Each structure stands twice: as structure tokens, then as C-alpha cells.
Structure 1
Amino acid sequence: MKKELDGYVIYCKDSDRETPLGVVSDSYDCQALSDYIPTRLKNFLVEIEDKRFYSHKGIDFKGVSRAIVENLKAGRIVQGGSTISQQLARNIIRDTRKTVTRKLKETIKAIQIEKQFSKDEILNLYFNNVYFGKNIWGLRTAGLYYFGKEVKKLTQTELLYLLTILRGPNYYKKRPEITQKRYNTINNILLERKLISKSRFQKNINSKLTISETQLSSFKNAAIPFITNRIDDKKKTIVSSIDYKTQDFARKFVAESKYPVSIIALRKGKIVGFASSYGTDYPFISKSNVGSTLKPFLYCHLRENGISEFEKFDAFNNNLDWEVREVGYYKSQLNIQEALFYSNNNSFVNATSKVGFETNLKFLSDIFNKPATDFFPSSVLGATKSGISLYELALAYSNYFNPTRLTDTKTECLSILNKVFHEKLGLKIENAFLKTGTTNENKERYAVLGNADLVYAVLRNENDFNDQSKEGSFMKQISRSISSMLKTDKNFVWI
């Protein structure tokens, strides 16, 4: 069943204007729906592609006969003979194989379409389903992709260009001279058949087209509630919280990674960018244990519940006799600040045990707005009953370390995480923080970092085939990429 928001166009903020970002679709295809198709464009299409459109019932036998004769004369296929209804059927079926079976399916579907819809409805369906190259389907998507415009704002010259590339968008895009020749041919036909005036003909000839090829993405329905500021059902648009620059960065971060990664960025609790190797819904629906990324919250809670900054805890063993994995060797005793810096599990288990697990787990359930039953003693090490999504992790950091609600303890925590940022990334950026975490057997690696303006959460999934350098290459990718988005700004002061 078609979902309610399928085909809606998502807009984001780009400086002072709204820019099309993508289309709601649970597949890779971008297909924006439009209730408005210009009448003149429909008339142009009929004249160019199917002159007997209003008289046939899906199959133009005269057109087929003519095509056979012309193809025999030429010794190759020069005419197809397909009606608009057949072309629509082909686009709906999404089968471009040149087989008898496909042609039969297309013919049957075309006849069904003719019985079910009026001629005008068929033309509307055609322009909402026609292929325009890459993963672009439908006139509205094409207008946004090629010209950055909604259908109502497209000029006649721009509409004529889209009509020109209909028969083979990927072919024509690579061959501008052939495209110009076909454009001129169509323009001449429309003049000869009096569908355009001489002045309009001349304007079409003289007009200079600017092709933008705007980057458009498919956004799955599951992601939409998290990024929506406003929905306009009449215009079929969604105004999102996404910032164009941040979204472009997130998309490139994933595209350029040789490992499967997901990334999400929040500003004041609002999502301003996100992307994933596994689809746009992955940062929201995929949940896992998040390892040591919970330690900063526990640190603050422990400090506010009687744990002194000088008190030492066993770093090699814990009083619960748990076998826990440590990432390195330290002094046998660590205070809680050192334990956070080195991400020492044993020290945190011992400190939490002293304060009481119950109060710490209740604290975590409040931070993540989850039932207390989702948390148990091993949650101190990042494990939860139902897991935590990348979005939930980023949101927790964004809310808890909100610059307007900082306490002395939170500032103290951030100063330690600033040292972690310097140590792991090799970057001297003040007022920036970093906390990493891994799940059992390093199946997932997390990094949460940011400043007082932005919070990023990054997840790198295991890839046994080419995963040789473990966390090192993960940190290098973050250091190369995200650091450029965290430049020091005097307004972003934490510590």
C-alpha cells in the first residue's frame, strides 16, 4: 500500500532560502508527485509522441504498422510505435527488457489503464511516472533536479528541454549536440503544427538553459517524523529541520567512507543532517548497545552523588567479579576523572556499585526517556534491553550538555572530553568534545563529538573484509572530516 507521504518533496534551509533536498520514498527511486501538469505540455507530448492518443484505446495499430514499415526500410529500429498509454505502462511495470513477454505485459497494462482512467488522467499519470534519468521519476522531480524549480515555475523552454530528453534521458545528458538537435526538431514541429507562435519559437531558440542537476535523495518514511517542521498536504511538501551544508557534509561523509557508516548531526536538539550506508531510516530504527558513550552521563551522576574527584578505584578488577574488556593498561588505581579519560570499565563498575546501581539506572532511564526496565547493571558498560539508536544517543548528548543548562559538574566532564578529543584526533580545537565506545567484539564503533553548537554521533559497523586498522582508521576519518565542521567559534564556549 502506498504510504501517505510517498512522493512529498522535502525542503531544507540553505542560507536564506529553502532548497529541495529529496523525496519521501522507501526505495532508491526519487518520484515526487504533482497534481499540476501544464496543459500546454500535455498538448506538446501528444503531438510529438502519440498524435492519435485521443482516438485509440491504448494500442495504435496504424502507428505500429507504420513503425514496422519504416524499420524494415531502414534495416534497423528507427520507430517504436508505442502509444503514451504503453509508455506509461512500461514506466509503471519498470521493465525495459526488449522481450516479447515484456511487450505483452506492457500491452495488457496499457489496455487496462485506458479502461480505468480518462485521457487527461492518463496524461497526468504519465508525467508523474515517466523516467528522467539516474533515479529521477516524474515531471516534478525532473524540474527540481534539472532546474531546482517546482513545476509551476518552469519556463516553456525548460519544459521543452524535459520533453526533449524523454526518450532517453541518460543518453541525451551525455550528448549535448544531439540533444540540441532534437530540441530544435521538436521546436520546429510545434511551430509547424501551430502549437506555438513564431515569437515563442524564437524565444525557445534564443533562450539559454542552465542545468543545475540538484542532488536529490530518497528519504524513507520512517525518518520523516524526526526531521519535519511543517507539512503542506496541498503542495505535497515537507519543510524539514535539515541544514543544507550539514546534510551535504553527512552525505559525503558516508559516500566517501570505505566502511559502512552512519552519521547524524543535531543543533539544539533538532536534526540538521544525517546519512547512512544502510538507508536514511537506519539512524532511527537500528538500535544497539552503545558501549562507553554512556560514561559521561554516569560520570556526572557519580560526581553529584558523593564520588570525589580524588577517590581511587581498582582499575583491573571489580567487586562484582565481572570479566570486563579494557582497551589498555593503566595504573592499578584510578580516580573517576582518569577513569573517564581512559574509559576504564572496572573503575566505573566499582564507583557505580558504591553509589548504588538502582539510582544510576534510574538516572539513565530519565536521560534516554526509556522505561527503567530497559536498564540493568551491565548498562554501566553500555548494554540495554532494547538498545539505543544513533539518534537517541545524539539527542541525549545534545539535551544533557545544552550550553544553557550547564552545571559545574557537566563543565568538568566536558573539559575531560575535550582532552579526549585532543588525544584521539590530534586536533587542538577548544570547546570541542569526543567520547568513543565499542560494543562486544568491536561489532560497532561509536563516536559522539561536537561543540556547543553541534553534536555529531557516528556509527561504524564491522566490515571483516577490509577492516584491518580497527579504531585507528575510524578516528582518522573523523579527524579528516568532522573537525572541519567544528571550527572554534567564540560563541560556542563550554569550558
Structure 2
Amino acid sequence: MNKQKESSTRSQNNKAPVKRKTHRRKSRSSRHKSPFFLFLTLLIAFAGISTAVFFIRPIDLFSRYIALTDTIEMVLTEKYNILQTNGFLANTGDDLNAKNFLHRLQERGYTRVNHHPKMAGTFNIEGNILYLYTHANQGLSSGKRYKFTLQKSILTSISSAADSTLLESLAFPPLNLTYFIDSVWEIRTPVSYDEIPEDLINAVIATEDQSFFSHYGVDVKGIIRATLSNLQAGRVVQGGSTITQQLVKVLSKNDERSLSRKLREAILALMVDYQYSKQEILTAYLNNVYLGHASPFELRGIAAASDYILGKDLKNLNLKECAIIAGLIRSPNSASPLRNHSFAAQRTQTVLNQMANMGDSLAAETQVKDKLIRIKHKSILHKMSWYFDQIAKEIKLRKLDTSDHTRHLTIQTPLDPWMQISATKVLKQQLNKLDPVSANKQKPLQGATVILDPYSGGVKALVGGRDYLKNSFNRAVDAQRPMGSLIKPFIYLTALGGIDAAGFITQADTVNDSPITVGQGKSKWKPHNYDKKYLGKITIRKALADSRNIPAVKIGQRIGVEKFLPVLRKTGITEIQQAYPSIFLGAVETSPLKIAGSYATIANGGNFTKPHLINKIFKDDTLIYFQQPAQALFSPATCYIMTDMLQNALNNGTGKRSRKYGFTHLGAGKTGTTNAGRDSWFAGYTNSLVTVTWVGKDNNSPTKLTGSSGALKIWSSTMQDILGQGRDKDFTTPTGIETAEINSATGQKASLFDTNVESMAFILGTAPTAIDNNEYIRQQFVAIKKTLHLENLKKTHKTLLKGGSENISDYTSWMSEQYEKTKNWLTQ
């Protein structure tokens, strides 16, 4: 029940409104200064300090006080360590629904209004037009009005409302994911004292420290009262710690149970109370108190709890909701409405009763049902556990000092929260379809997904398994699995023209798909194709599209293992133990993250950038870490040809099921399968994203899945979910490229009569010029002649049945004429 309704109820009952007793904004001068209690407090403090001399070293106490005040200053000035996402672009052609555009605006503090935006930070939707008034802190587009024109959910144009200038895209700033003191696992949203609802302050004071505004950091009366209550009950039923003492404990993060710790906290509380105002102490406390676990995250502070547990901004809480938050302080998990509806209701009523006992008339009139309605939280952080897990590891690896609270860190990541949410959701859904957990509890199917920006190497999303809370092993980063056929594009890429080496093949060249025996150490190795069949002479393009093993080994042998390995290592695949020919079929173990980096090298035109989860790190305003520039490995033209081949693999080869699985966009990619289906892979990309998916089992047992039947499903669904119905952008054609119409069976220039014709890309001057041999053309001509003859007979028969007079001689004379024209040419 909201305040407006409650006030109305009181008026209807002809009761005069009672002025509510509050505790807001009491200054230090208003505190109770009874000489007796001041003397008693000082006496207790002196006794405590005297006793503490035997337990606590003064130097240790002083150093703890300095560290404590450093942390309090960090909190009061809101100079927390910050974890940021990347900014994002709204591009013409984007599907704004798939991009979760409205959610992205709301996360950045934009408010939807029902009229033309007149204030910065607002937007309005009228029909197919979205009007936006940007925030003042949005870089070049700060404080300006824009018009977004939509066709259904597709962004067709962006224009300036001031002068109608058309834009291709509009940039939005990074989003602060969380503010943390020591660990990125802390969910915290800082608020100032003025932003804390009055009802919430009253609720906390009523339940935690009713003498807060009158004591000096240690409540002597409270200690005596708690001691008597505990002795009477025969157990601990009441605590004597003040809010100031609790603040000391919260920020010190010391759970030691000892007399020395209690004494130390009491002394530090007295010192803190002397240095800071009550408002400052309460602000620091309510921003940092532990209010439950949003596994694996910790909810720190009232704003984070309001957002995660109640799904509301702090400023919008009503009295009952303020009581819910205050009740969490004593029982952060058991009193959460997300966990225990009944106990949460009891605890909330207890808080309201305590507020009523302190004179709050509205609290006295508010009753809570036996069970609180389950509230669906709106926080998205719990979907990002895999990413946070790796960030936490990298902070530790880089030895970043998060304990130095005199300077704050800003960690900028390439994370896209909504891509992360999509990848997490799709992986779990598809794994459940492929292998329901209930049917295979002992050996569940696992998976991993990595999405990155091919040009920067920034990881936009990373999912390491089915469920982080059940098994936190991050397969996207830490699993070492054979890459199988995912290695083949790099074999052909090297042969097309690798690092500082001229190419010796084109994609139209042919290779004999026939049995081969290769020496491997002291033994002989006889590779075979997945289907145990051989196709004879086929083009390189078809060999890659259909993932034929023998052609890959034969081309690999021409390159040589020793020359190929440096190429692979420079694309980020460094876990190569021995230089055996079996490496040409993917006998090298690596992670999905590294494979994503290697495929990004092809997607971006030949530059290798190490995949990363941290873009930059600032300490205060000083840049202390940034990504190294990309390293050129292949020519843009060579990579474009490989992209052309991988497009064919996706559309016509082992990846063609992607269309059946719902992927509708322009893309390129390759399947991968290892022995007995132990690993199912797909690595693919569009103009703007590289995505790698893996499916397998942690114990390395067979899955009976191929790259096409397993990982490709996840890849297709993930990419479609992210791209929606957005418009595709073509892969950029670099200089030095020519295209030609090629007979896909022979690899030669297509003739007039060829039916199996493909357009293929070549390095300028390397496209085939020879037309098919005459015998082949003669066979094609005869086949076409027979087909046309049969079609004509059918047409004539239908005409005669209908009583028509169409004469077949028109068709046969045309055929004879064409034959006479080409007879001499055919017999040359």
C-alpha cells in the first residue's frame, strides 16, 4: 500500500493525521549530551583502552584507523573502484529490439516520457519515430536532440533534430557495471545521504541503533540492555553493537570472534564518531552493509538490494519496501523475499512494529501479509558470472592493488551485457535440448561460447558452461580441447599466401581426394575422410566447404609442418607440443577463446590482436594499462579469399544447416569435429562479430555430435538472437582482388554451357583463364540438347491434348541451328 492511499484511509476514518516522528538530518549539535552518560562513555572508553593495551598494539590500532578512514573517504567521495562496460553504437540497419536498445537507454539513466523530450536524458516514441535528448556527458553528442526513424524494429535513419543532418551511427558512453572496494563480485550502487528515503533511515535506526543520533559511537545503555536481555534469555538474543561499530566491522571485513576484536572495534568506533558526522557515518554504512548473496555476487548497500531484490530504484520505495530492506541487515539471506516469503514477511512486520514503537504512526497502521509476493528482480549482473570470474582472475594476475583506498581504479572492459545475456541464455537452452540434464546427471553435456570484436580483439561475451553456480570451470578460457577441422582454414590460408610467403594455390585449383600414407616419426599414418569415402579430383574450395581431410593433409604436406607451425602460433594457437603431420587434422589442443582470436585474424583482414577482457585500466586519471596494437600477419586480399571460401562452407558445405537452424545473415564459418564426436565446434563470423561455440563433455567421453549437429545449433541461435532482423553489411573487398565465374567441378573458367557455376575471388591476375576441355563441353551440350528435346516433347504433348497446334519443329530447328553454329568449334 502506498503512502497516498494510507493517508486517504486515515482521513476517511475521521482521524487527524499524526505527525510522524523521524530521525532525518539530526546534526551533531542535536545529540544528547547528558553529563552522566558522557562521563560513563569516557570511563568505558578509558577502561577499554587500558584493557586493550594488553591485547592490541597501539601501532596496529593506528594503522587500522588510517586504513579505515581511507576507505570511508573513498565511500563518501564515491571514489570506488569501477568496472565499466564498453560504450555501444546504434547503427542504421540495426534491429533495435534484438539490440535491447530501450534497456540500454534505461541502464544509462534515460527516462521515457509521453511528450517530445524537453530535458536531457529523456526519450519519447511516437509511431515509428523515437526522439532522444542525450545526456550532457555523452561526448560529441552531448545534450543534443536526435530523431530515430524505424521500420518495425529496424533503424532506418538517424538524424539531428536541429538541422536534419543524417548520421550512420550514434555513440553511447560506457556503463558502470558495479562500484567495488576490494572485489568485483560486490554489487553496489553508491547513493548520497540526500538520496536515501526518509522511511528507510527511520527503519534502520529503529531496528539497528535507536540511540544512533545521541551516542558517541559506543552505546553504553545498549550494551547494558543487551547484556541483561541475553542473561535473562540464557542465549544471545540482542546485540549491543552500534551502527558505527557495525560500519567498522563491515569496512574492516574481519569476522574474527575474539575479545581483542570487539575492543578494537569499540575504540575505532569512538574515533570514527569523533571525526565524522552522523550523516556521513550512516551514508558510509548504508552503502556498504552486506544485504545478501545474489550468487555468486554480494549485495552491498541499500541501492543494490533495492534494485536486485525489489526491482525498484531506491527513490521509488514505499514504507513497506523500506522495512523489507532494513530487515535484511540482521538476516540478509533468510529474510530475503527471493528466498523465504514467510520469514521475510515476519521480519518486515517486526521492523514496522519497532518503527511504530518509536512513534511512527504510518508504520503502526501498516500490516504485512503472511507471505510476501515473490518479486522478480531486474538486475542483469547474475547473468555475467563467467565474465566477472575471468575479470577477477585478470585483476589478480596483473597484481592490481584494490586495497589501496587512497586511489581508485577504473577498469574498462569490452563486455556487451546484452550479448552476454543472449549467449548465456542460448547456450543453456540448446544444451538442454541436445542433452537434458535429467537424462544424464553423471556426464552432462557442457559447452562454451566466445563472442568478440574482430577488429579490436575485445571479448564482448564469454560463457564457460551450462551453469556457473553448479560448475564454475570456465571452459571458454581454461578448457584445452583438440581443435579438429577448425585448423583447415589456416592450412589453405598459408598456401594461398602466408606470412612473408608467396601462395602456391588458388581456391579453384584441384587436389586429389584419394588415400595417402604419411610418415609420422618412426610410424606410418594413414588419414581418412570422415565418411571413409574419396571423391577424386576436387577444388580447394570444395575440399574446405565439405571439410575433406585428405586434401588438407596433402596441401599441409606441401607447406611442411615446420613452416606451418609458426603461422599457427602467430594467430594465438601456441599450445603445440610436437610437430607431427597429424596437426593438419587439428591434433592440437587449445581453448575457444584462442580459436576466436585466430579466426578474428581472418575476419579483420589479416591482423592478429590478442583476445582480451580488459581494454584499459586507470588509477585515478592515470592510464596504467592498455592493449597492445595489432600485428599484421596476412594480406587483406588473402584473408578476403578465405572469407569467400568460408562463406561457401557456411552456405553450401558442412555449415549449411545454419539456415535450417534459423540463421538468416551474411556470414562465414567452419565446423569442427574430433574423433568419436568428443568435440563439436563451430567458428564463424559476420562483418562485425566473431563467435566460437564448443560442445563436449568434461570427461572427454563421446557425444555422438558433429560440428554441424551440435555447436552449429548454438552458434546459429546465438548470432540470430543478437542480430535479429538487422541489415547485413558486406565483407569489405580490399584492393588486389578479382572475381571470376568458375566451373565448380573442374576449377576452370566456366563455359557458355556450364550449369554448376560459382563466382570465386582471386588475387588479381591469378583467376583461371582456360575454358573447360572440349570433351566436357561436348558432353554438356549433348545433355542440354536431350533435356530441351524432352521438355519440348512434353510441352507439345500438353498442347496437343488441349487441342492446340503448336509445332515442335520451332524448337528442333532452333536446336539444329545452334548445333551447326558450334559443330566446327566442338570438333577442334
Q: TM-score, normalised by structure 2?
A: 0.46
RMSD: 5.1
Secondary structure at the counterpart of residue 284 of structure 1: coil
Secondary structure at the counterpart of residue 691 of structure 2: strand
Summarize the alignment of residues 38-49 of structure 1 with structure 2, pairs less than 5 Å apart.
38=193, 45=204, 47-49=206-208
Tell me how far 1:20 sits from its aligned partner: 5.8
AA partner of residue 326 (structure 2): L
Aligned to 1:436: 671
Summarize the alignment of residues 336-347 of structure 1 with structure 2, pairs less than 5 Å apart.
336-347=540-551
* Structure 1 residues 25 and 234: alpha-carbon distance in aligned structure 2, compared to 1, 3 A threshold: closer
Check whether the contact 1:316–1:332 (CA below 8 A) recurs between aligned residues: no
Residue of 290, 303, 314 corresponding to 1:130: 290
Tell me how far 1:137 sits from its aligned partner: 3.1
Question: What whole-Å deviation, never above 9, does each CA across 1:186-228 have from its counterpart, x for those lacking one?
Answer: 5545655xxxxx99999xxxxxxx98441323412235799xx
* Structure 1 residues 50 and 285: alpha-carbon distance in aligned structure 2, compared to 1, 3 A threshold: same
Residue of 421, 424, 430 corresponding to 1:251: 424
Aligned to 1:195: none
Question: What whole-Å deviation, never above 9, does each CA across 1:415-464 have from its counterpart, x for those lacking one?
Answer: 22332321466346352233222455654432213322322111223156
Secondary structure at the counterpart of residue 379 of structure 2: coil
CA distance in 2, matches of 1:416, 1:181: 64
CA distance in 2, matches of 1:381, 1:233: 54
Aligned to 2:518: 319
* Structure 1 residues 59 and 465: alpha-carbon distance in aligned structure 2, compared to 1, 3 A threshold: farther
AA partner of residue 599 (structure 2): Y
Q: Which segment is superposed worse, 321-330 or 414-423?
A: 321-330
Check whether the contact 1:31–1:138 (CA below 8 A) recurs between aligned residues: yes
CA distance in 2, matches of 1:7, 1:377: 50
Aligned to 1:273: 461
Check whether the contact 1:89–1:110 (CA below 8 A) recurs between aligned residues: no
AA partner of residue 417 (structure 1): L
Residue of 349, 364, 381 corresponding to 1:216: 381
Mark the structure with the bigger radius of gyration.
2
Check whether the contact 1:439–1:445 (CA below 8 A) recurs between aligned residues: yes
Question: What whole-Å deviation, never above 9, does each CA across 1:302-340 have from its counterpart, x for those lacking one?
Answer: 234223534223443343342446432232535323332
1:301 correspondence with 2:481: no
Aligned to 1:446: 681
CA distance in 2, matches of 1:93, 1:281: 28
Tell me how far 1:249 sits from its aligned partner: 0.9
Check whether the contact 1:450–1:486 (CA below 8 A) recurs between aligned residues: no
* Structure 1 residues 92 and 364: alpha-carbon distance in aligned structure 2, compared to 1, 3 A threshold: same
Residue of 157, 163, 166 corresponding to 2:326: 163
Check whether the contact 1:91–1:131 (CA below 8 A) recurs between aligned residues: no
* Structure 1 residues 180 and 235: alpha-carbon distance in aligned structure 2, compared to 1, 3 A threshold: farther
* Structure 1 residues 359 and 473: alpha-carbon distance in aligned structure 2, compared to 1, 3 A threshold: closer
Tell me how far 1:108 sits from its aligned partner: 6.6
CA distance in 2, matches of 1:374, 1:34: 51
CA distance in 1, matches of 2:409, 2:306: 15
Check whether the contact 1:315–1:331 (CA below 8 A) recurs between aligned residues: yes
Aligned to 2:413: 240
CA distance in 2, matches of 1:288, 1:201: 63
AA partner of residue 128 (structure 1): N
CA distance in 2, matches of 1:48, 1:179: 10
Aligned to 1:98: none
Question: What whole-Å deviation, never above 9, does each CA across 1:27-63 have from its counterpart, x for those lacking one?
Answer: 9x94246887749878864552244673359993531
Aligned to 1:105: 257
Question: What whole-Å deviation, never above 9, does each CA across 1:353-393 have from its counterpart, x for those lacking one?
Answer: 12333433333233338599997644322244xx5332221
CA distance in 2, matches of 1:441, 1:236: 48
* Structure 1 residues 418 and 488: alpha-carbon distance in aligned structure 2, compared to 1, 3 A threshold: farther
Tell me how far 1:292 sits from its aligned partner: 1.5
AA partner of residue 396 (structure 1): S
CA distance in 2, matches of 1:465, 1:348: 25
Q: Which segment is superposed worse, 479-488 or 250-259?
A: 479-488
Unaligned runs of 5+ in 1: 96-103, 193-197, 203-209
* Structure 1 residues 91 and 63: alpha-carbon distance in aligned structure 2, compared to 1, 3 A threshold: farther
Question: What whole-Å deviation, never above 9, does each CA across 1:228-269 have from its counterpart, x for those lacking one?
Answer: xxx999676544322232111122234443422221112343
* Structure 1 residues 476 and 464: alpha-carbon distance in aligned structure 2, compared to 1, 3 A threshold: farther
CA distance in 1, matches of 2:475, 2:680: 15
* Structure 1 residues 273 and 88: alpha-carbon distance in aligned structure 2, compared to 1, 3 A threshold: same
Check whether the contact 1:362–1:372 (CA below 8 A) recurs between aligned residues: no
Aligned to 2:532: 329
Summarize the alignment of residues 116-127 of structure 1 with structure 2, pairs less than 5 Å apart.
118-119=271-272, 124=284
Aligned to 1:206: none
1:485 correspondence with 2:722: yes
Secondary structure at the counterpart of residue 460 of structure 1: strand
Summarize the alignment of residues 303-452 of structure 1 with structure 2, pairs less than 5 Å apart.
303-304=496-497, 305-308=503-506, 309-320=508-519, 321-324=524-527, 326-333=529-536, 335=538, 336-368=540-572, 377-384=581-588, 387-402=589-604, 405=636, 407-419=640-652, 420-423=654-657, 426-427=660-661, 429-439=664-674, 442-452=677-687
Question: What whole-Å deviation, never above 9, does each CA across 1:42-95 have from its counterpart, x for those lacking one?
Answer: 8864552244673359993531422554x58xxxx9944363558986999999
Aligned to 1:207: none
Question: What whole-Å deviation, never above 9, does each CA across 1:121-161 have from its counterpart, x for those lacking one?
Answer: 9975786352324433321643553477998x787967665
Check whether the contact 1:57–1:111 (CA below 8 A) recurs between aligned residues: no
Q: Which segment is superposed worse, 244-253 or 423-432?
A: 423-432
Question: What whole-Å deviation, never above 9, does each CA across 1:264-311 have from its counterpart, x for those lacking one?
Answer: 112343322112125486533444432211212222322342235342
Check whether the contact 1:341–1:417 (CA below 8 A) recurs between aligned residues: yes
Check whether the contact 1:299–1:413 (CA below 8 A) recurs between aligned residues: no
Secondary structure at the counterpart of residue 214 of structure 1: coil
* Structure 1 residues 160 and 276: alpha-carbon distance in aligned structure 2, compared to 1, 3 A threshold: same
Unaligned runs of 5+ in 2: 1-78, 89-102, 109-174, 366-374, 433-444, 466-470, 498-502, 607-635, 732-758, 760-828
Check whether the contact 1:9–1:20 (CA below 8 A) recurs between aligned residues: yes
* Structure 1 residues 323 and 223: alpha-carbon distance in aligned structure 2, compared to 1, 3 A threshold: farther
CA distance in 2, matches of 1:490, 1:215: 27
Check whether the contact 1:319–1:350 (CA below 8 A) recurs between aligned residues: no
* Structure 1 residues 306 and 453: alpha-carbon distance in aligned structure 2, compared to 1, 3 A threshold: same
Q: TM-score, normalised by structure 1?
A: 0.71
CA distance in 2, matches of 1:106, 1:89: 13
Check whether the contact 2:327–2:351 (CA below 8 A) recurs between aligned residues: yes
Aligned to 1:100: none
Secondary structure at the counterpart of residue 15 of structure 1: helix
Q: Which segment is superposed worse, 276-285 or 117-126?
A: 117-126
* Structure 1 residues 200 and 116: alpha-carbon distance in aligned structure 2, compared to 1, 3 A threshold: same
More helix by share: 1
Check whether the contact 1:253–1:481 (CA below 8 A) recurs between aligned residues: yes
* Structure 1 residues 413 and 86: alpha-carbon distance in aligned structure 2, compared to 1, 3 A threshold: closer
Instruction: Between the two structures, name the one with larger relative contact order (CA 8 Å, sep ≥ 6).
Output: 1
* Structure 1 residues 401 and 113: alpha-carbon distance in aligned structure 2, compared to 1, 3 A threshold: same
Task: Name the % identity.
Answer: 17
* Structure 1 residues 186 and 415: alpha-carbon distance in aligned structure 2, compared to 1, 3 A threshold: farther
Summarize the alignment of residues 189-204 of structure 1 with structure 2, pairs less than 5 Å apart.
none
Secondary structure at the counterpart of residue 656 of structure 2: helix
Secondary structure at the counterpart of residue 301 of structure 1: helix
